């Protein structure tokens, strides 16, 4: 699946769900990153990937609910 197939200003929900699943997977690893003996460069790449995935969700008005661990729409204060 590619972002280029989605109309500008809209990202398909399947992509949002995939980004959320990837974030959850990365956070499982990064929560105990000391156990994995990775180099500084790899740690920076992992952090960059995580930032990019969060950006996909946040730009489209979504977040991951910390209580249910599910994708949900963000509420915006006026």
pLDDT tens for 9-50 read: 667 888 888 888 888 887 776 555 556 677 888 888 888 888
CA distance 53 to 3: 12
User: Other C-beta atoms within 10 Å of 57: how many?
Assistant: 21
Alpha helices (H) in the chain, listed in sequence order: 13-30, 40-59
Asked whether residue 67 carries a pLDDT value surpassing 70, the answer given is: yes
For residue 78, give the 3-state DSSP assignment. coil
Would you give the distance in Å from CA 6 to the centre of its chain? 18
CA distance 17 to 71: 7
pLDDT given for residue 9 in this prediction: 60
């Amino acid at each position: 699946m590619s972002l280029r197939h989605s109309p500008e200003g809209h990202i398909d929900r399947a992509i949002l769900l995939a980004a959320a699943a990837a974030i959850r997977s990365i956070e499982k690893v990064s929560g105990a990153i000391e156990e994995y003996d990775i180099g500084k460069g790899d740690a920076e790449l992992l952090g960059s990937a995580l930032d990019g995935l969060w950006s996909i969700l946040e730009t489209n008005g979504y977040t991951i609910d910390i209580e249910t661990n599910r994708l949900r729409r963000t509420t915006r204060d006026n």
